[in-house]
Every structure is written in structure tokens, then in C-alpha cells.
């Protein structure tokens, strides 16, 4: 049962067949969670002109039923593809989509679509008013880069706002549009943000966060300037990564003032939402549990031929609760707690020393389908941390050059080895290294895929970033890793750094995978606590799922 031969996941969201990419209009409505996503109903590859919005529903964000497509490329204003967008629940409870259509000439325009019957709990039917497109392609936007409207929010003046990503004079920009009726939209002269060094931005997300506590806020919440900050998240096309900035939003001029102006206007220097292969994040306010929940798409990194053979492509990261850290600058991300309903068999460690060069196998759970939480204590941080070379400031390079195998002394690499074959020929390492820099410590986290598979035509990189924690004070660092066949999703420092990646180990087709704690540093680390749960298989978009979830 636990052998999903072609890398299909057991508890992550994926369609039964065909291609999916960006999360589009997540929403909670009348007791059900709805998830919409870029979906090609004709095959397992991305197809510019054929994209629809796939639609699935769930009672718990874990088990999902597929309801077919919500909108398809059928009208002059979207006949070449229904591209990404968002959902907004209008006052009175009627959900609406704002989305990008590629019109008859392939030009990107913005459209609206309304739920036909808001009382239908399944929201099966969507209608597109004839006034579409609601926003034509602007004269000053270039290269057909004008797309991916956000969830709309209300300003104190009663007008709706949305952000659309656009390339204006070579600068990736977040344009603001306002509307009184959701149908006629007018552009604000000044963009909310513009990254001169970054031409193409996609999938913006803009939402309020509470300054204190972990509760989420409705997208229109503003707080009148107190108790609330805002987050601007942008997906950067070239690096295929999501970056965000916390800041102050003023709905008078629709301006956004970054909390960390020293990071500059180039959004690539903002905080990275996920250092791995996740992209196009989109969040929604979950009124049922008073939290903000975020989805992220994770692409395939095997070959197109493999995807055609499998008949499916694309996985979503497990839905994450997001909230503002006490430092007021970074987000914390954590799998929604409903995931714990899937935990079955549990094994644990407590107070286990892992000496230099140590490799400790965790046995007793089927580790290709697991949830692992571990806390590492570093007894001799001061003595053992190696000096930091400013050349290593590029985390990608640092991760590649100083992968899991290189042990040149110091604190780490230590962490987990997951999806390993019995002979360790195939293995994926998720690990930390700690460096000393001007009397302070830098914690680096990495997922090294370079040995993850012996298969040809698989892209195997190493991904990493810095974890913004005070390790001198804590003397420990936590790691949570969700392992799900081809999906490895890791949360460092309580969700301050996330790395989500795909793996394609060949051994998984014929034998079980192994899980280890390892330490390739020069000193001992202590596993003060480790818990690993085997995970049950969720019902995700299978044929009879609607009965199972309702």
C-alpha cells in the first residue's frame, strides 16, 4: 500500500491525472474548503492555450474530491487559456474569481467570474459576465506580461482594490486597481511596488497579518494602522522563487512601506518564502479556524517523457498556516494541524548523542510516508562553529559547495537523511550548518538533492538559505520534514525557513526507503527529541472521493 511506484504522493494534493500548476482561488465557504488550480484537462503537460481552473473540495484540507473544471477557455476574452488569479468572497457571501485570460490574440487581460449559485455548497457553476475583459492590456505594459490578479480587499473608502503583476518599462511592478462595483476597475497611477532589476513578476499575494499572535485576518482587515502589518509576496520568474516583504500599507494612496527598506527594491533580496522548488504561493483567510492558509505549487523535475508516462504532473505543498514572527519581519509557516489526523505509528528518540561522523537509523515506521519532528542541541557552539566567509552569502552556492558530505569541521552538517536506499546510494540530506560571523552565528539550512536519485534525466540541485533564529540563545534548532514519496517538505527553526523539493529515487519502486539522523560536523550534536510518524494515505481526488469527504 505504501509503494506509490511513480512518485505519486500519499497525502499531498495532486489531481488523479493530468497537469496542475499554480494554486488559484483557495477559499472557505459554507463549511467546505474549495481549492482551484491551474489545470490542463487534456494531458500531463503545461499547455499555454489549454489551461482551465481545476476544482476540488474538502472538509478538512486533507481529503479532497475533484469536481472537474470551474472555468475553461471558452470565450473571446480567455479562449487561449484561463491563467492564474484569485477568489474573493463578496459581501453577502457570493464568491468571485479575478483571473487572467489570454484573449483571441493571445493577449493577457483580466476577467471576472461569479459563482452562479452561492447557496450551492459545491459551487459547481461559474458564470462570466459579458463585460469581460474588465481590464484591457495597458499601453505602457510590455512583453505581454500582465497577469495574476490577487484576492481583492476593501479600503476604508468602500472601494475594492486588487494587485496585478505587470512589466512596466522593464520593471516588474505590482499595479493597483480600484473598483466600486467589482466590474469597472481603474488603475492607481503609482504601483504599489516596482523592482527595476526584475522584469517579470507573477502571482502577487497581498494580505494583512496580526502584529501579535498567530491568528489570521480577513484580507480587507486594516486595523487603522495599529496591530496590523501587511505582506507583499511576489513570484520572480527568472529564479522561479517567491519573495516577500512585511510592511505598512496605507489605503489612502495604496502605498506599501517595507519594514526592511535596507533590503532595497529588488525583490530577490527580500525574504524567500521557500528556498526549494515551490512557487506561485497563494493564501486565503480561513474564517472557520481564524487563520491564514497558504498554498504553493511544486513542479516536476524529471523529464517530460516521464510525466507523459506517469500521466500526471505537479504537486501542491501541504497547506500551511502563516503568521508574523515576534520579530515583526518574517513569516512563520507550518503545516495546518489537520495533517496530524494522518499520523499513525510513532517512533521516537530522546537525548541521543550523534557523534562526529555518526549515522543513526530511525526504524519502525515506513519512512517514505512520514512526518518527522526533531530538535538538535549543539553543546559546543562557541568552540566548534567555523568562521563564515562572505563569499558564502549566496545560499545556493554555499549549499552546492558545502553539501551534506563535506565535513571540514565545525557545527554541522547535521540533520536528516531521507528517502535513502539500503546501500545509501540514493539519499536526500536535509541539514544545518552553523557559522560564526563577527561574534554572531549564522544558521544555514540546505536540502541536497545531488544524490537523491540514480535515475537519468532528473534535475538534482542543492537548495539552501539562512534561518533567522538566535541560536546562541536557543543552543538548539528544530527541523520538521514531511516525507511523501517524491515530496520532501522541510521547516527549519519552527517554520522560519522552508525548503520544499521533489525527489525521484529509483529504489522506491522495489524496496523500502530508510531514514537517518546524521552528523558530519566535527563535534557532537544531541537529538534532544525526535518523533517520526508514519502517515496514513489521504483520499485525494480519487473517483469516489466526494462520498468520502461529505
Residue with cell 478538512: 60
CB closer to ligand DQQ out of 106 and 225 = 106
CB closer to ligand DQQ out of 21 and 539 = 21
Q: Can you tell me which of 9, 14, 20, 21 binds ligand DQQ, judged by CB under 6 A?
A: 21
- DSSP string for residues in 380-416: THHHHPEEPPGGGGSHHHHHHHT-TT---SSEEEEEE
Q: Can you tell me which of 98, 163, 175, 203 binds ligand DQQ, judged by CB under 6 A?
A: 203
Q: How many residues bind ligand DQQ (CB under 6 A)?
A: 13
Are 95 and 152 contacting, i.e. CB atoms less than 8 angstroms apart? no
Half-sphere exposure of 395 (CA within 13 A, CB side): 24
- Using CA of residue 301, residue 306, residue 307, residue 311, what is the dihedral sign? negative
CB closer to ligand DQQ out of 72 and 202 = 202
The least CB distance from residue 347 to ligand DQQ, in Å, is 38
Q: Can you tell me which of 27, 32, 51, 398 binds ligand DQQ, judged by CB under 6 A?
A: 51
The least CB distance from residue 294 to ligand DQQ, in Å, is 15
Catalytic residues: 22
Q: Can you tell me which of 7, 15, 22, 442 binds ligand DQQ, judged by CB under 6 A?
A: 22
C-alpha cell at 32: 467546505
C-alpha cell at 49: 492555450
User: Of 406, 411, 455, 403, which Cα lies nearest the Cα of 430?
Assistant: 403
The footprint of ligand DQQ on residues 279-318 (CB under 6 A) is 279-280
Residue span 466-485 as binding mask against ligand DQQ, x where in contact by CB under 6 A, dash where not: --------------------
Q: Can you tell me which of 77, 83, 392, 432 binds ligand DQQ, judged by CB under 6 A?
A: 83
| Burial (0-12, 13-18, 19+ Cβ within 10 Å), 438 | exposed
Q: What Cα–Cα distance (Å) separates residue 250 from each residue in 135, 255, 434?
A: 24, 5, 39
The footprint of ligand DQQ on residues 139-168 (CB under 6 A) is 147-148
The least CB distance from residue 202 to ligand DQQ, in Å, is 3
CB closer to ligand DQQ out of 148 and 371 = 148
- For residue 343, which phi and psi values (nearest 5 degrees)? -70, 130
- For residue 390, which phi and psi values (nearest 5 degrees)? -55, -20
Q: Can you tell me which of 9, 14, 56, 84 binds ligand DQQ, judged by CB under 6 A?
A: 84
The least CB distance from residue 543 to ligand DQQ, in Å, is 26
Number of helical (H) and strand (E) elements in the chain, helices listed first: 5, 40
Q: Can you tell me which of 9, 38, 194, 369 binds ligand DQQ, judged by CB under 6 A?
A: 38
The least CB distance from residue 126 to ligand DQQ, in Å, is 18
The least CB distance from residue 21 to ligand DQQ, in Å, is 5
CB closer to ligand DQQ out of 89 and 98 = 98
CB closer to ligand DQQ out of 38 and 69 = 38
CA-CA distance, 49 to 455, in Å (whole number)? Answer: 32
The least CB distance from residue 109 to ligand DQQ, in Å, is 12
CB closer to ligand DQQ out of 40 and 452 = 40
Q: Can you tell me which of 14, 100, 421, 476 binds ligand DQQ, judged by CB under 6 A?
A: 100
CB closer to ligand DQQ out of 85 and 495 = 85
| Residues whose CB falls within 8 Å of the CB of residue 346, separated by 6 or more in sequence, listed in order | 365, 531, 532, 533, 534
The least CB distance from residue 254 to ligand DQQ, in Å, is 22
End-to-end CA distance of the chain: 24
Residue 280: alpha-carbon gap to chain centroid: 7
Q: Does 234 contact ligand DQQ by CB under 6 A?
A: no
Residue 194 Rama label (left phi>0; alpha psi -120 to 50; beta): beta
Are 20 and 314 contacting, i.e. CB atoms less than 8 angstroms apart? yes
Residue span 162-201 as binding mask against ligand DQQ, x where in contact by CB under 6 A, dash where not: ----------------------------------------
Q: Does 202 contact ligand DQQ by CB under 6 A?
A: yes
User: Of 260, 297, 265, which Cα lies nearest the Cα of 281?
Assistant: 297
CA-CA distance, 296 to 286, in Å (whole number)? Answer: 16
Strand 411-420 and strand 428-437: the pairing is antiparallel
Applying CB under 6 A, the residues found at the interface with ligand DQQ are: 21-22, 38, 51, 83-84, 100, 147-148, 202-203, 279-280
Amino acid at each position: 500500500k505504501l509503494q506509490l511506484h511513480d512518485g505519486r504522493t500519499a497525502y499531498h494534493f495532486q489531481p488523479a491525472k493530468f497537469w496542475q500548476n499554480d494554486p488559484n482561488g483557495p477559499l472557505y465557504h459554507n463549511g467546505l474548503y474549495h481549492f482551484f488550480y491551474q489545470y490542463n484537462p487534456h494531458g500531463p503537460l503545461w499547455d499555454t492555450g489549454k489551461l482551465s481552473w481545476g476544482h476540488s473540495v474538502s472538509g478538512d484540507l486533507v481529503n479532497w474530491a475533484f469536481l472537474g473544471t470551474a472555468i475553461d477557455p471558452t470565450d473571446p476574452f480567455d479562449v487561449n487559456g484561463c491563467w492564474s488569479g484569485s477568489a474573493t468572497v463578496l459581501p453577502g457571501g457570493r464568491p468571485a474569481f479575478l483571473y487572467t485570460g489570454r484573449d483571441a490574440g493571445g493577449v493577457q487581460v483580466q476577467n471576472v467570474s461569479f459563482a452562479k449559485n452561492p447557496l450551492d455548497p459545491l459551487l459547481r457553476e461559474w458564470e462570466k459576465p459579458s463585460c469581460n475583459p474588465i481590464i484591457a492590456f495597458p499601453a505602457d505594459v510590455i512583453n505581454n506580461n500582465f497577469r495574476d490578479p490577487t484576492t481583492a480587499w476593501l479600503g476604508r473608502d468602500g472601494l475594492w482594490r486588487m494587485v496585478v503583476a505587470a512589466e512596466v518599462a522593464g520593471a516588474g511592478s505590482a499595479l493597483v486597481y480600484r473598483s466600486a462595483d467589482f466590474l469597472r476597475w481603474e488603475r492607481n497611477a503609482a504601483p504599489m511596488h516596482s523592482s527595476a532589476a526584475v522584469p517579470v513578476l507573477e502571482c502577487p499575494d497581498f494580505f494583512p497579518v496580526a502584529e501579535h499572535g498567530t491568528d489570521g485576518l480577513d484580507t480587507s482587515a486594516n486595523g487603522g494602522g495599529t496591530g496590523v502589518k501587511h505582506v507583499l509576496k511576489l513570484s520572480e520568474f527568472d529564479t522561479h522563487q517567491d519573495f516577500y516583504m512585511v510592511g505598512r500599507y496605507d489605503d489612502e494612496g495604496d502605498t506599501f512601506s517595507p519594514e526592511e527598506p535596507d533590503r532595497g527594491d529588488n525583490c530577490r533580496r527580500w525574504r524567500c518564502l521557500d528556498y526549494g522548488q515551490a512557487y506561485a504561493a497563494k493564501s486565503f483567510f480561513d474564517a472557520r479556524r481564524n487563520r491564514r492558509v497558504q498554498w504553493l505549487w511544486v513542479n516536476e523535475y524529471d523529464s517530460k517523457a516521464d510525466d507523459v508516462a506517469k500521466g500526471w504532473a505537479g504537486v501542491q505543498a501541504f497547506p500551511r498556516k502563516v503568521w508574523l514572527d515576534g520579530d515583526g519581519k518574517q513569516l512563520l509557516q507550518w503545516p495546518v494541524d489537520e495533517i496530524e489526523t494522518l499520523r499513525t505509528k510513532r517512533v521516537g528518540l530522546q537525548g541521543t548523542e550523534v557523534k562526529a561522523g555518526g549515522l543513526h537509523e530511525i526504524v519502525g515506521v515506513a519512512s517514505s510516508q512520514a512526518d518527522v519532528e526533531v530538535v538538535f542541541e549543539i553543546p559546543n557552539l562557541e568552540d566548534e562553529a567555523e568562521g563564515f566567509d562572505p563569499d558564502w552569502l549566496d545560499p545556493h552556492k554555499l549549499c552546492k559547495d558545502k553539501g551534506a558530505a563535506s565535513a571540514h569541521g565545525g557545527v554541522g552538517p547535521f540533520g536528516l537523511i531521507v528517502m535513502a536506499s539500503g546501500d545509501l546510494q540514493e539519499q536526500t540530506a536535509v541539514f544545518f550548518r552553523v557559522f560564526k560571523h563577527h561574534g554572531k552565528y549564522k544558521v544555514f539550512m540546505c536540502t541536497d538533492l545531488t544524490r537523491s536519485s540514480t535515475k537519468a534525466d532528473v534535475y538534482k540541485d542543492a537548495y539552501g538559505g539562512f534561518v533567522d533564529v538566535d541560536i546562541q540563545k536557543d543552543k538548539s534548532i528544530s527541523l520538521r520534514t514531511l516525507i511523501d514519496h517524491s515530496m520532501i517538505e522541510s521547516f527549519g527553526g519552527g517554520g522560519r525557513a522552508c525548503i520544499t523539493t521533489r525527489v525521484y529515487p529509483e529504489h522506491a519502486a522495489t524496496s523500502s526507503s530508510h531514514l537517518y539522523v546524521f552528523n558530519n560536523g566535527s563535534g557532537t550534536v544531541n537529538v534532544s527529541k525526535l518523533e517520526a510518524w508514519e502517515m496514513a494515505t489521504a483520499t485525494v481526488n480519487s473517483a469516489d472521493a466526494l462520498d468520502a469527504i461529505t
